[in-house]
Chains A and B, each alone.
Chain A
């Protein structure tokens, strides 16, 4: 029987990989992918807690998160395409119009 902590460790690993991607990827698409990983790490946590506590609230939350993630990816990709149209690049390093 696999315990709760194993799920939590997996979720933490996935979250860290996602965060690493967000921080280090130069490509905006890659950053979006990183964000997806972080959100799914959260989903793993929710499902694991729901399973081990016998409480269905976590499952319901996960469904919400998945649908919101879909919307987020749609909006995020649209923004990336809009940026590409204007700047002809999606390199995160070069999108620094707000530099002080």
Chain B
């Protein structure tokens, strides 16, 4: 029992210690790589702890009173250790560790002080994410939820001298805040109705059918809004592609593997509550599937390798949410874990490519297979996993998601997700063919990345394969209830996508430009991101700035105007009265004499 508390606590505490150390001890932070080693060491210990917790299968909940009150504490903090959180613990610590190691080489040319700052943020992020995962109640989850949002902001804006990065950081912060407002309002409403933030209490109430609160659907919808912002669901997904302005390892860790999945994790964690509101679940399913399809189409026309992966992340998050909406939160969570592995792999491999060629544009790469075969191999492994090819990890989780959505009789979302399978294979192999094969482009001598970067890549690739193979041996991940035709269908769709990409970009049998011309309206829409960014910009410029201008006008001309009139009146009155003071003694005597006379006359008349 003791170990089941102290071990998770130490997993949570290690990154925090590293963060405090780096934040407080300035010389250490400014020393750059040494700061990195501190952070990496802490993460390594945390990973060891997380693996132990996972292997021993600790389960338990420990809470401490935070805000005491009469009749039970208002709020508690603590650790909730169960299979869900231990799986996330391992994923977060593992990917964090690998990303931090990778960053040592990737950000080698940074100034030491900047690098120290980077690792300080990284430690803070790891702590926040672990705190979120271990949260036993909505309140603690929300606090860490905001902390990871802060870290995301800080790390997207790591190169804050670049205006695009600073803008992207602010955009990510505000758009996720939009969802978080709903989240916090939902939590507080839920608390005022039930008097508790604790998951276990809430779940017990849910089981006893004691949660028949009026407006529960509204509350759960508001809480879901938090996930919409954080997990980049339509229509708040616009921040994630822009977040690619951050360093690539950050994209791999925060904007692919961990933080963006917090929304899915939250929905999975609160699944017994969402199960009470089928209408919200259906909405989650539809929005998720729509997000998946929408993002996949945008990924097909994007030429920035990181943005393709970002849209792909949005799309896969849509899958997870769709699964949660279909009542198959387990499948969505499974996809979260496997996606965390192979998407981190893809991002880190993309980082290696960008590092080698110095550009993000896939059409200025090409023929990189010869220069960096190892990176190519791991990238293809990641691509196959993402496309859902057996026996890689992605196949089984995607299968489970599709099966879950089908079982829930959500035909519309199912069709959208099936189409997305095709598109996923298409846009990923498009990247593979254009980047690694095809005609080599002149300029520079691309080279294989240093082993500090290759090591994490190979480890992630190996895990992607091993997890899949292990499931394959264990019998399709224990999800035999999926229809038998599902696996052939999804693999078939993936193969069609692959074949299309091959025909368009490798074989050259079909000219991509002609296809684009044939699908001109769709192509136009996808390239312009369905006008959503323009819509938000328009809303911002038109409505918000217009309103601000109106308020500004009122302030400047009405509020200030009254005050200006008052001061002008005072000045003018003073100026007029000034002339009374002639400065000549005789005038004053006149005043005294006539005043006296006046008083005498008045006194006479008064009597």
Interface positions of A (Cβ within 8 A of B): 19, 22-23, 31, 92-93, 95-100
Contacts and interface: CB of A to CB of B under 8 A. Distances in A.
B188 to A, nearest CB: 64
Contacts of A92: 584-586
Contacts of B577: 100
B581 interface: yes
Given A19-B593, A22-B589, A93 B584 contact: yes
B585 to A, nearest CB: 6
Nearest to A94: B584
A23 B589 contact: yes
A100 B584 contact: no
Nearest to B584: A96
A100 B590 contact: no
Contacts of A100: 577-583
7 contacts: A19-B593, A23-B590, A92-B584, A95-B585, A96-B584, A99-B584, A100-B583
Given A92-B586, A99-B582, 15 more contacts: A22-B586, A23-B586, A23-B589, A23-B590, A31-B586, A92-B585, A93-B584, A93-B586, A95-B583, A96-B583, A99-B581, A99-B583, A99-B584, A100-B579, A100-B580
Contacts of A19: 593
Interface string B567-605: 000000000011111111110011001000000000000
B241 to A, nearest CB: 70
3 smallest CB-CB distances across A and B, nearest first, come from: A100-B581, A99-B583, A96-B583
A96 B589 contact: no
A98 B583 CA distance: 4
A31 B583 CA distance: 16
A98 B581 contact: yes
Contact of B593 (A23, A31, A93): A23
A91 B580 CA distance: 20
Contacts of B578: 100
Contacts of A31: 586
Contacts of A98: 581, 583
Nearest to B593: A19
Nearest to A20: B593
Nearest to A98: B583
Contacts of A93: 584, 586
Contacts of A99: 581-584
A81 B590 CA distance: 24
Which of A19, A92, A100 is the most central at the interface, judged by chain B CB atoms within 10 Å of its CB?
Answer: A100
B584 A95 contact: yes
Contacts of A96: 582-584
B582 to A, nearest CB: 6
